Amino acid sequence: MTKLLQPQRVSLTSDDRYSCRWTTGDVICNSYVRASDFPEHLRSAHGVVGADKASLVCGWVDCFTKMRKENIMRHVNEQHLELRYPCPTCHEQFTRAHTMQNHIARKHPGN
């Protein structure tokens, strides 16, 4: 079985910190935060708290996507931070670890 890989950002930099572009009023946060720290950052700095089924609007610059709170981190990771899980065999990129694992099982059995 292939071990779960850490997500990688598709970009020109290997820096593991990302600029938070969440807005409050007309002010953009611009704090640099590790991807793994974004859930806590959104809770403590931007008040993204409450029931998982609660509806909210993404506060990222120019986004305004409406979703349930339980989906906000996946949305930020996929759409704004552009985190990807690369297949270790063919390097195809996936937005979710389990999708990459399913790909490996189907396309690269025995690896």
Q: How do the domains of the chain map onto residue ranges?
A: 17-107
DSSP per-residue letters across 67-106: EEGGGHHHHIIIIIS-EEEE-TTT--EESSHHHHHHHHHH
CATH number of this structure's domain 17-107, picked from the four choices 3.30.70, 1.10.10, 3.30.160, 2.102.10? 3.30.160
Element (H or E) spanning 9, and its range?
Answer: strand 8-9
pTM for the model: 0.74
Q: What is the pLDDT of residues 74-100, one digit of tens each?
A: 999 889 998 888 999 999 998 888 899
- The pLDDT of residue 3 is 45
CA dihedral of residues 67, 92, 11, 58 (deg, nearest 10): 0
Apex 79 CA angle, 47 and 77, nearest 5: 60
pLDDT digits (tens, 9 = 90+) for 9-62: 443 333 478 999 999 989 999 999 998 899 999 999 999 999 999 999 999 999
